[in-house]
């Protein structure tokens, strides 16, 4: 009997302990928001994604290369685990031509309401109208820097997103028809809205109803040798906090020589319409050379020299590491 009593006592004690354990509240607040170590941005991989686009040739609207490269981008985003949306339509160019447009969107963590948008244009300019040789003005450019660099960098980010999910959802948008803006040789006015046709379309018809994001980062010409990125005017006006965040993270990573802490110029680019029409604060990380006579975007801008020779892995690395750090810090 004494044995049974003491056994009972042991059970009662154990039971009360287990009850206590159950009722104990966790001391740490456990939510899904964590500090995340970002995966390593691989500049060789980004460079490869740039070269693969250039290998298609000029990706000008209504061309085989444009179509083939668009299919490649969809395949890559799919391979890296994105939910892929395609917006296909026909829009009119400055010259009245009907252009086959395709915006390509790769979404990660599609259900989250905490989102950041990353964008670049994937089309290339049909005219090298800034080439020193006027005989080249009607020839399409390869757009290694102007087009392929931003997209290649974001394909590398897509690869990382499959390896490690950040705390937020990400939408990678490849805008079409950014670079069909009125050429210098055209008669009549250079209307601003002849540029950025794909982003205007997207901002007027987002790929999802009521789409929203905390902010956006547009990448344009982010692979050039000795590139510098000044704070672009519209970005500073519309999304000063995002500019400060990106430039200070770049600095902290040792990329302050690329991300110059000074004001650049105002650029008509896809971020204008993301800000103006979609009402999402969006910055443009775009090459800017203060003292370049030929172009503030670099000497090869809209010339036949915009090929793989102008691409430098250390620029892709500086921008790539910065963007990666920015998105994995987000809570």
Residues that bind ligand AHN (CB under 6 A): 146, 179, 181, 195, 220, 267-269
Supply the minimum distance, in Å, between the C-beta of residue 30 and ligand AHN: 45
Going from the C-alpha of 274 to that of each of 21, 97, 219, 283, the distances in angstroms are: 52, 25, 13, 9
Q: Which is nearer to ligand AHN, 268 or 314 (CB)?
A: 268
Q: How far is the CB of 249 from ligand AHN (least distance, A)?
A: 24
Binding at 269: pick from Zn ion, ligand AHN, none (beta carbon under 5-8 Å per type):
ligand AHN
Give contact residues for Zn ion (rule: CB under 5 A).
Answer: 125, 146, 179
Q: Which residues pair with 121 in a beta bridge?
A: 175
* C-alpha of 72 from chain center: 17
Report yes or no: 187 and 260 within 8 Å, Cβ to Cβ: no
Nearer to ligand AHN, 142 or 267 (CB): 267
Choose the one of Zn ion, ligand AHN, none that binds residue 159, judging by a C-beta under 5 to 8 angstroms depending on kind: none
Identify the helix (H) or strand (E) that includes residue 262. Answer: strand 259-263
Q: Concatenated DSSP letters for 200-222?
A: HHHHHS-SSTT---SEEEEEES-
Q: Which two tokens stand for residue 13?
A: 């004690």
Task: Return the number of the residue (248 or 292) whose C-beta is nearest ligand AHN.
Answer: 292
Q: Which is nearer to Zn ion, 146 or 171 (CB)?
A: 146
Q: Nearest residue to ligand AHN, using CB?
A: 268
What's the closest the beta carbon of residue 124 comes to Zn ion, in angstroms?
Answer: 8
Residue 250 beta carbon to Zn ion: minimum distance, rounded to whole angstroms: 23
**Minimum distance of ligand AHN from residue 168's CB (angstroms):** 27
Q: Given the complex with ligand AHN, which of 41 and 288 has the nearer CB atom?
A: 288
Between 64-79 and 149-163, two packed helices, what is the crossing angle to 10 degrees? 20
Continuous segment of H or E residues that includes residue 87: strand 83-92
Binding-site partner at residue 267 among Zn ion, ligand AHN, none, CB < 5 to 8 Å by type: ligand AHN
Q: What is the largest CA-CA distance in the chain?
A: 109
CB of 178 vs ligand AHN, minimal distance in Å: 6
Using alpha carbons, select from 108, 111, 113, 91 the residue that is nearest to residue 100.
Answer: 91
Least distance from ligand AHN to the Cβ atom of residue 270, Å = 8
Residue 290 CA to residue 227 CA, distance in Å, equals: 11
The smaller minimum CB distance to ligand AHN, of residues 148 and 155, is found at 148
Nearer to ligand AHN, 151 or 168 (CB): 151
Q: What is the tally of helices (H) and strands (E) in the chain?
A: 9, 8
If contact means CB under 5 to 8 A according to the sort of partner, which of ligand AHN, Zn ion, none does residue 202 touch? Answer: none
User: Which of Zn ion, ligand AHN, none does 176 bind, CB closer than 5 to 8 A by kind?
Assistant: none
Minimum CB–partner distance for residue 208 and Zn ion (Å): 28
Surface-to-core class of residue 17, CB atoms within 10 Å of its CB (0-12 exposed, 13-18 middle, 19+ buried)? exposed
Considering beta carbons, is residue 269 or 330 the nearer one to ligand AHN? Answer: 269
195 binds, options Zn ion, ligand AHN, none, Cβ within 5 to 8 A by partner type: ligand AHN
Pick one of Zn ion, ligand AHN, none as the site partner of residue 157 (Cβ within 5 to 8 A by kind): none
CB 144, CB 87: distance < 8 Å: no
Contact 267, 286 (CB under 8 A): yes
């Amino acid at each position: 009997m004494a044995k049974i009593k003491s056994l009972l006592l042991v059970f009662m004690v154990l039971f009360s302990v287990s009850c206590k354990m159950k009722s104990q509240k966790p001391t740490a607040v456990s939510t899904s928001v964590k500090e995340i170590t970002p995966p390593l941005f691989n500049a060789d991989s980004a460079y490869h994604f740039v070269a693969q686009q250039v290998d298609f040739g000029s990706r000008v609207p209504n061309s085989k290369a444009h179509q083939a490269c668009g299919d490649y981008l969809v395949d890559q985003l799919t391979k890296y685990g994105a939910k892929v949306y395609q917006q296909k339509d026909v829009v009119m160019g400055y010259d009245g031509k009907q252009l086959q447009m395709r915006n390509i969107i790769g979404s990660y963590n599609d259900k989250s309401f905490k989102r950041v948008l990353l964008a670049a244009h994937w089309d290339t300019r049909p005219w090298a109208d800034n080439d020193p040789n006027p005989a080249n003005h009607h020839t399409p450019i390869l757009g290694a820097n102007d087009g392929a660099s931003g997209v290649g960098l974001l394909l590398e980010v897509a690869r990382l997103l499959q390896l490690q999910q950040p705390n937020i959802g990400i939408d990678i948008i490849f805008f079409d028809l950014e670079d069909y803006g009125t050429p210098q040789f055209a008669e009549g006015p250079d209307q601003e809205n002849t540029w950025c046709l794909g982003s205007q379309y997207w901002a007027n018809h987002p790929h999802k109803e009521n789409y929203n994001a905390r902010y956006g980062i547009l990448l344009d010409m982010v692979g050039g040798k000795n590139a510098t990125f000044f704070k672009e005017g519209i970005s500073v006006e519309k999304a000063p906090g995002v500019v400060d965040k990106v430039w200070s993270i770049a600095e902290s990573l040792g990329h302050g020589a690329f991300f110059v802490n000074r004001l650049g110029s105002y650029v008509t680019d896809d971020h204008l319409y993301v800000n103006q029409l979609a009402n999402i604060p969006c910055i443009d990380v775009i090459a800017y050379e203060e003292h370049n006579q030929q172009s503030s975007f670099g000497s090869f801008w809209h010339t036949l020299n915009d090929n793989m020779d102008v691409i430098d892995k250390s620029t892709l690395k500086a921008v790539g590491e910065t963007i990666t750090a920015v998105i994995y810090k987000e809570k």
